[in-house]
Amino acid sequence: MRRRRRKPGEQVSTWRDIARRRRQILVVPTDDDRVALVLPSGEVAVLDPLQAGRLRGALRDVVYALDNRATLDEHQHAIPTVRAHA
């Protein structure tokens, strides 16, 4: 993976995929007051502020559910995104 300099306002979340490969999700503010998530595959998910808040809440909910494996299947969320055009 080629390294590049981050622009001001960009954030990177580093994690490992299921095959234990190091991956990054680039989080970038857009010019139209939304948030773009650039995934390792090159796909881009664009979220408006409400959708970003829902994603944050869904992540929090699932992390808390890890403590109770019996109800883990009940904590699945679908967050709609805006289709990005390259």
Task: Write down the pLDDT at residue 50.
Answer: 93
Domain assignment of residue 26, yes or no = yes
- Number of C-beta neighbours around residue 28 at 10 A: 17
Q: What is the pTM of this model?
A: 0.65
pLDDT digits (tens, 9 = 90+) for 34-83: 999 998 888 899 999 999 999 898 888 878 777 777 766 666 666 666 66
Domain assignment of residue 83, yes or no = no
pLDDT at 1 over 50: no
The single-letter code of the amino acid at 34 is R
Domain assignment of residue 81, yes or no = no
The DSSP annotation for 1-65 comes to ----PPPTT-EEEEEE-TT--EEEEEEEE-TTS-EEEE-TTS-EEEE-HHHHHHHHHHHHHHHHH
- Domain, as residue range, for 50: 11-75
3-class DSSP state of 69: helix
